[in-house]
Amino acid sequence: MVEVLKAFADVNRMKIIRVLAANPEESVCVSDLARVLGITQPAVSQNIRILKSIGLLAPKRVKNMTYYSIEIDKLKEYKDEIDEMFMRAMVRCTFEGSCDECSKRSCFE
């Protein structure tokens, strides 16, 4: 989850997710995202690389252009994991924060 949360921790990546998630059946190229977001194409490409690394974007090559769409099932999976993480955070730790002794320590990996 750390890599996912790092990927979500950038305003431009969140904007890319929002644009693509609003129309999950459509694909968008880097130049269109750059125009919509008001940032450079290299900046969009760098952010897309990070979102692809967590499996959130699906590239589709058409001639010399690459179009990206959101992996909506993966986005829902991450939402569920984040919800679970916050739910666990609301439960008192019986090990007083000593994760090495906790049988559920894997929940933070």
Whole-number pLDDT of residue 97: 62
Q: Exposed/middle/buried for 68, CB within 10 Å: 0-12, 13-18, 19+?
A: buried
Q: What angle do CA 105, 108, 109 make, to 5 degrees?
A: 100
Report whether pLDDT(49) > 50.
yes
pLDDT at 23: 86
- Is residue 34 scored above 70 in pLDDT? yes
Q: Please say if the pLDDT value at position 85 is more than 80.
A: yes
- Listed by start position, the domains of the chain span 2-71, 74-108
Does position 83 have pLDDT exceeding 50, yes or no?
yes
The predicted model scores a pTM of: 0.78
Domain 2-71: assigned CATH number: 1.10.10.10
Q: Express each pLDDT in 86-96 by its tens digit.
A: 887 777 767 66
